[in-house]
């Protein structure tokens, strides 16, 4: 049976996953708790990614070295960059890029030295299946979030997008910075702090990888407002429902 690695960016997301695993056992490595068990009949290893590229890359490396695994799925939140990625939408990554990687003029801007590339693609079949699960969940958001969260966050017709997500060691929380990113990377749908690092580790190990991010903010001057409440009431619920829907049909 395929073993699935689940990396959650947020404590609340991991807690929601652990709450539905009947039998998880904790294995502690490198200060991280890896939870080995089952979910809907699938073998899973769930872990908190930690925040930022280095921490997430370390978590991914330990996960891939210490646990037998067939696919790795990441869930978290992200700031919307493109006009279409609105708060409450879900972005499934088709690929990742580090927006703060710049070894120019030795290498082209954003290219990761010695990899000969700036973009790290996700697994198309895995991403497609997760996008289908996300579309299913978002077709009835009230079922997963309740009416209050829908009203509070104005989540009336949330959508699923697939495309490029960019990562860097910065919580993008000014309109000015967000505009700079949009101008230099017009393809980018959303920005976060871990995905490109995990995608790079998965490329090194030949591990199929996919990532699902709920848009928690617009990466602008208001990005921090209600962030924690949004994670608790919306993003962590979407993550659980999307993974659960995906596992059910896998």
| Residue ranges in contact with ligand SAH by CB under 6 A | 9-11, 51, 76-79, 171-173, 191-194, 216-217, 219, 223, 228
Helix spans in 6-118 (H): 11-20, 53-66
Residues near 194 by beta carbon (within 8 Å), at least 6 away in sequence? 9, 49, 51, 52, 53, 55, 56, 74, 76, 167
Active site residue 204: no
Tell me how many helices (H) and strands (E) the chain has.
9, 10
Nearest to 198 by CA among 9, 16, 10, 33: 9
Of 12, 13, 89, 220, which one is the catalytic site residue?
13
Active site residue 23: no
3-class secondary-structure state, position 222: coil
Specify whether the CB–CB gap between 85 and 215 falls below 8 A: yes
Specify whether the CB–CB gap between 245 and 160 falls below 8 A: no
Min CB(130)–ligand SAH separation in Å: 17
| Residue with smaller CB distance to ligand SAH, 50 or 117 | 50
Min CB(37)–ligand SAH separation in Å: 23
Query: What does the DSSP assignment read for 110-145?
Result: T-BTTTTBS-EEPPHHHHHHHHHHHHHHHTSHHHHH
Of 123, 192, 194, 217, which one is the catalytic site residue?
217
> Among all residues, whose Cβ is closest to ligand SAH?
79
| Residue with smaller CB distance to ligand SAH, 27 or 51 | 51
Give the chain's radius of gyration (CA, Å): 17
Min CB(49)–ligand SAH separation in Å: 7
| Residue with smaller CB distance to ligand SAH, 12 or 187 | 12
Min CB(137)–ligand SAH separation in Å: 19
| Residue with smaller CB distance to ligand SAH, 145 or 219 | 219
Catalytically active residues are 13, 217
């Amino acid at each position: 049976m395929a073993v699935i690695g689940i990396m959650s960016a947020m404590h609340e997301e991991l807690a929601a996953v652990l709450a539905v695993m009947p039998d998880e056992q904790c294995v502690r490595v490198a200060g991280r708790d890896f939870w080995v068990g089952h979910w809907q009949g699938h073998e899973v290893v769930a872990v908190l990614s930690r925040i930022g590229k280095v921490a997430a890359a370390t978590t991914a490396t330990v996960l891939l070295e210490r646990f037998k695994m067939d696919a790795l799925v990441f869930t978290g939140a992200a700031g919307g960059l493109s006009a279409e990625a609105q708060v409450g939408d879900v972005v499934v990554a088709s690929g990742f890029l580090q927006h703060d990687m710049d070894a120019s003029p030795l290498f082209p801007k954003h290219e990761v030295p010695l990899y000969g590339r700036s973009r790290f693609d996700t697994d198309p079949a895995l991403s497609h299946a997760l996008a289908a699960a996300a579309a299913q969940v978002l077709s009835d958001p009230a079922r997963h979030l309740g009416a209050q969260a829908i009203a509070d966050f104005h989540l009336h017709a949330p959508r699923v997008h697939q495309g490029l997500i960019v990562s860097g060691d910065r919580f993008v929380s000014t309109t000015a910075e967000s505009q700079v990113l949009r101008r230099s990377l017009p393809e980018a749908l959303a920005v976060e702090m871990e995905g490109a690092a995990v995608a790079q580790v998965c490329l090194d190990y030949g591990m199929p990888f996919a990532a699902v991010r709920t848009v928690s903010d617009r990466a602008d001057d208001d990005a921090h407002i209600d962030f924690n409440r949004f994670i608790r009431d919306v993003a962590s619920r979407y993550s659980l429902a999307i993974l659960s829907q995906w596992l059910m049909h896998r």
